[in-house]
Amino acid sequence: MRILVTNDDGITSRGIQALTAAMARLGEVIVVAPDRQQSAVGHALTVASPLRAVRMEREHTSIAYAINGTPADCVKLGISTLLPYRPDIVVSGINHGSNTSVNAIYSGTVSAATEGTLMGIPSMAVSLTTFDASADMSLAAEVAYDVAARLLDLKLPAGTLLNVNVPTVDRSQYRGVKVTRQGHNAWKDGYDVRKDPQGHPYYWLKGEFLTLTELEDGDDFAVQQGWTAITPIHYELTNHAELDRLKGLFQP
């Protein structure tokens, strides 16, 4: 099996190293990843400037490229142009930080897996729900291995990928995997306003993650309870429940 590995924390991050080592037990690992941190880039593509690809040597990989672009760029450029063959699966991560609830729409990690899905390849994103830079990645790497090993057999429908969020708990408290839906939590955002030496303001994003509705089958709740949350997500954005009502209002 050929596994394309990418992430949004950059090719040198601890998360992609742990993931690469885990995927090497499954098959041939190809890495195409950003050359630097690209968190919260959403599903960004680089269209107004060209991309560069630097071939690198990375442990456990047959091919590795660092790209001056976003996670979605990496998947698109890798599969369409750089690689001599199509990967069988795309695995993105291990992200530092939760991609549950609304975080999924901001996530470069998830967007890379979405791009793989758009290109017709079974794909998954893996995140460890902590921002601690020195967090133990071993549980997340094992979970990534277990899910990736089954990814082809799951026969996900076209356009659907897995968003996997692993809790930060001691092994003794870890409960296993649970299939969940996207939670309803959100950020209460604000900005830290500072002044530069010339007295001009600048704004740092800061936020607090709020529990809006505690969904018992939601990804956040599962992670809080010590489960790995596996959410099947897709990029079908239509709110179908609204279609008829709006038709009545716009096309009476």
Quick one: which of 30, 182, 185, 223 contacts a second copy (CB under 8 A)?
182
How many alpha carbons lie under 13 Å from residue 44 in its C-beta half-sphere? 17
99, 125 Cβ separation under 8 angstroms: yes
- Supply the minimum distance, in Å, between the C-beta of residue 44 and a second copy: 4
Residue 30's Cβ-side half-sphere holds a number of Cα atoms within 13 Å equal to 19
Q: Are strands 201-210 and 186-195 parallel, antiparallel or unpaired?
A: antiparallel
- Calpha distance 93→74 (Å, rounded): 13
Residue 59 or 245 with smaller CB distance to a second copy: 245
Task: Answer left, alpha or beta for residue 172, where phi above 0 means left and psi between -120 and 50 means alpha.
Answer: alpha
Interface positions, 129-158, toward a second copy (CB under 8 A): 150, 154, 156-157
Task: Report which of 30, 26, 12 is spatially closest to residue 85, judged by C-alpha positions.
Answer: 30
Least Å from the CB of residue 46 to a second copy:
7
CB of 206 to a second copy, least distance (A): 9
Stretch that binds a second copy, among 9-17, 20-28, 126-134, 191-199 (CB under 8 A): 191-199
**Contact positions with a second copy (CB under 8 A) in 195-234:** 200-205, 217, 230-234
Name residue 35's amino acid. Answer: D
Of the residues 57, 170, 189, 208, which one makes contact with a second copy according to CB under 8 A: 189
Q: Residue 94, preceding bond cis, omega within 30 degrees?
A: yes
Pick from 106, 224, 227, 213: which is nearest to 164 by CA? Answer: 227
**Least Å from the CB of residue 82 to a second copy:** 8
Taking the complex as a whole, the smallest distance from the CB of residue 200 to a second copy amounts, in Å, to 8
Contact between 80 and a second copy by CB under 8 A: the answer reads yes
Bridge partner list, 195:
201
Q: Which of residues 100-129 bind a second copy (CB under 8 A)?
A: 102, 104-106, 111, 114, 118-119
The binder of a second copy chosen from 39, 130, 211, 225 (CB under 8 A): 39
- Which one of residues 12, 46, 168, 211 is an interface residue with a second copy (CB under 8 A)? 46
